[in-house]
Chain A
Amino acid sequence: EDKVVQSPLSLVVHEGDTVTLNCSYEVTNFRSLLWYKQEKKAPTFLFMLTSSGIEKKSGRLSSILDKKELSSILNITATQTGDSAIYLCAVEGGAGGTSYGKLTFGQGTILTVHP
């Protein structure tokens, strides 16, 4: 069974700090790893990492995929109170048709940024 584990489960920091969120996975026929940010409603897409693109960066956020270690990290530099959210890691994989539309999600990391 496919499995995604995130750590830490929760994290409290102060504005300006840098944080690193971790995600490890076990999945058959890995295709991609995705990071989402969820505040009170819809998970918002952040990054998609595949074999052809193992590092992504957008502003203060960046992510790296380590296919050898079956893991990924999400870095947030110079954190702001607006970064407070649940960060979800998800993996797309599976054999043939079993992968259609299906992401296996981790339990999420709750990030709280204090002023």
Chain B
Amino acid sequence: KAGVTQTPRYLIKTRGQQVTLSCSPISGHRSVSWYQQTPGQGLQFLFEYFSETQRNKGNFPGRFSGRQFSNSRSEMNVSTLELGDSALYLCASSFTDGSPIGGSPLHFGNGTRLTVT
């Protein structure tokens, strides 16, 4: 079974630009979550999607947004990039029936390394 696939692997952008990252979950997984990983803050939750609906959101500014398509693939967008947005962005999927107590672990992709100059 293929794992979580993220594209692109690396991105270099300039301050003020916007960027779109893509994630394909494990087949059969309907929940997709996004995380930001930095050396200083570690792994921080951005948002979660299930059946094309955002169900949960972390404490990030509105410049960070996402969406999920009917095939469960997800994209996240960051607008008006800042230097502090440089990070590894990880997507994770899980097999859940949608209940709060899913009991299913998150499986992570290899991430997109975003560098903002």
Chain A interfacial positions (CB closer than 8 Å to B): 31-32, 34, 36, 41-45, 48, 50, 88, 90, 96-108
Q: In the complex, A71→B94 CA distance in Å?
A: 24
Contact flag A41-B101 (CB < 8 Å), given A97-B55, A100-B48, A103-B45: no
A41 near B110 with CB under 8 A, answer yes
B100 near A100 with CB under 8 A, answer yes
Q: In the complex, which range does the number of interface residues on chain B fall in?
A: 20 to 34
B window 69-85: CB within 8 A of A:
none
Q: Which of A32, A50, A96, A105 sits near B43, CB closer than 8 Å?
A: A105
Distance in Å from the Cβ of B80 to the closest Cβ of chain A? 25
Instruction: Tell me the nearest residue of chain A to B40, going by C-beta.
Output: A107
When distances are taken between beta carbons in the complex, the residues of chain B under 8 Å from A99 are 56, 100
Interface 1/0s, chain B 28-60, versus A by CB < 8 A?
A: 000111000000001111011110000110100
Is the CB of B61 closer than 8 A to any CB of chain A?
Answer: no
The 4 closest A-B pairs by CB, nearest first: A101-B48, A101-B33, A100-B56, A105-B43
Q: Which of B100, B103, B111 sits near A50, CB closer than 8 Å?
A: B103
A102 near B43 with CB under 8 A, answer no
Instruction: Tell me the nearest residue of chain B to A107, going by C-beta.
Output: B42
A102 near B111 with CB under 8 A, answer no
Is the CB of B21 closer than 8 A to any CB of chain A?
Answer: no
Contact flag A42-B110 (CB < 8 Å), given A100-B50, A100-B55: yes
Contact flag A100-B31 (CB < 8 Å), given A50-B103, A108-B42: yes
Is the CB of B90 closer than 8 A to any CB of chain A?
Answer: yes
